[in-house]
Structure 1
Amino acid sequence: MTTNLSPAQAWQKLIDGNARFVSGESIHPNQDAARRSELVNEQHPFAIIFGCSDSRLAAEIIFDLGLGDAFVVRTAGHVLGDAVIGSLEYGVDVLNVPLIVVLGHDSCGAVTAAKNTVETGEMPRGGLRDLVERITPSVLAAQRAGFTDVNDMVIENVRQSTERLLDSSRAVSEAVDEGKVAVVGVTYRLADGKAECVSGFGAL
């Protein structure tokens, strides 16, 4: 059981799966007992999905995937950190996954919290403060470009996260340069379930 997909082929599989989900025609692949047994000793996911932790953004569901299809990493606001980068590098270096998707969504609570902090100057406490500090540059960049809606800030945060990943990980950036991996920034619309590409690096 091997993947052997190009980055473009892996991306097309996600596009096709999301189209099925949007139309209500999901096929729920690779979710039976035979697939479970097949994966006991190995895995060959074709996509890494680094998404927001929001309960409405279940990657395997919105892309109509099954067991072993996606290596999934999630944090609120898809905020990068050492553990996240290490996880993504594991997917690239060890599992040889050809595609990384950075997945955001409209009405994101983490981005909204950062927007509120920028507007009020009131910083949240605890770990949420760290999330807000990491997302704030995206909020400020969107505002400088004339955008005030949180969903425009979400798009900017996705774009900046994809760029930050390449800046922060030599393993990922080298794999992109070599044509082995593509990194795609995607936003998801809660109302209709549509996932759309907003940025990309590599051969798609």
Structure 2
Amino acid sequence: MCLACNSTRLNRRSFITLAGLAGIAAMAGSFAMTTRALASDAAPAVSPEEALAKLQEGNGKFVADAEACAADFGKRRQDVAKGQAPWAIVLTCSDSRVVPELIFGGVTLGELFVARNAGNVVDTDVLGTIEYGTEHLHAPLIVVMGHKRCGAVSAACDVVAHGTKLDGSIGKMIQPILAVALAETDRGEAFIDKTVHANALNGAERILAESPIVARLVDEGKVKIVSAYYDLDTGVVEFMHKA
């Protein structure tokens, strides 16, 4: 094989490598520009305390008259189409009966930044979502909300109390809840409900412990983290704890 051929192949390989790196750099730059475009650069419109008060007031409205909590999305859709500035982040369960936008008084598009999974578990995806919501969208409040009769928590409690085996990915998903259930000493009728409360508290504490970004914002007084419990029967949200 001739040296000229080797040289040609190396040059082509170098060109492809450089082109690939340039493409990655361009994509990163494009993502950064998109992030800035979609995020609000302004300071949050409300303080953490004001955001919490708005959620409490909205939930009171929902409890008093749930039918009055339907939001008008038509005009609002156009208002927020090119950017968002949510004033609260809500991590809650995927349960179809738990709808934060209704539970907190019919808030409309662009107001809540919501992350959901079964059992409101704090994982890497959730942490990244919350960090984006606080650092880039400037949301001043994080709420970790469990709910009555949570299926994911019930499954974890069944494993602890009865040795139930869970197949597939469900067993892996509830690992963080298992640790909470194992720590609960009351294994009676209140076992599941107490674990739901403890799981929400644990979630708030984990966000603070595992995210330096959120911890810094909390230290600076820009963000507050609270835990909450939603009662499916009454519609009431109980705010339990500040992390």
TM-score band by shorter chain is over 0.9
* 2:107 aligned with 1:61: no
- Code of the residue aligned with 1:95 in structure 2: it is L
Deviation string, structure 1 residues 141-190 (Cα, Å, up to 9, x no partner): 222xx353211111011111111111111111111111000001000000
How many residues of Structure 1 are paired with residues of Structure 2 in the alignment?
Answer: 199
Which of 131, 148, 154 is matched with 1:112 structurally? 154
Structure 1 residues without counterparts, runs of 5 or longer:
none
Q: 1:194 to 1:99 in 2, by over 3 A?
A: same
- For the 8 Å contact 1:28–1:66, the answer to whether it is kept is no
Larger radius of gyration: 2
Unaligned runs of 5+ in 2: 1-39
Q: Following the alignment from structure 2 to structure 1, what is the Cα–Cα distance between the partners of residues 227 and 236?
A: 14
Q: Which whole-Å CA distance do the structure 1 matches of 2:155 and 2:236 have between them?
A: 24
Q: What secondary structure sits across from 1:77 in the alignment?
A: coil
Q: CA 1:26/1:68 → structure 2, altered by over 3 Å: closer, same or farther? A: farther
Query: Secondary structure at the residue paired with 2:228?
Result: strand
Paired position in structure 2 for 1:21: 62
Structure 1 residue runs of 4+, over 3 Å off?
A: 25-30
Corresponding residue of 2:74: 33
TM-score by length of 1: 0.92
Residue 184 of structure 2 corresponds to: 142
Identity %: 37
Counterpart in the other structure of 2:241:
199
Equivalent residue, structure 1, for 2:33 = none
Give the number of the structure whose residues are more often helix, by fraction.
2
Shift of 1:31: 2.5
AA aligned opposite 1:166? L
CA distance in 2, matches of 1:33, 1:93: 29
TM-score, length of structure 2 as denominator length: 0.78
C-alpha displacement at 1:54, in angstroms?
Answer: 0.6
RMSD: 1.6
**1:96 match: secondary structure:** coil
AA at the equivalent of 2:73: D
Work out which structure has the larger RCO, using CA pairs closer than 8 Å and 6 or more positions apart in sequence.
Answer: 1
CA distance in 2, matches of 1:63, 1:92: 20
CA distance in 2 between partners of 1:53 and 1:75 (Å): 5
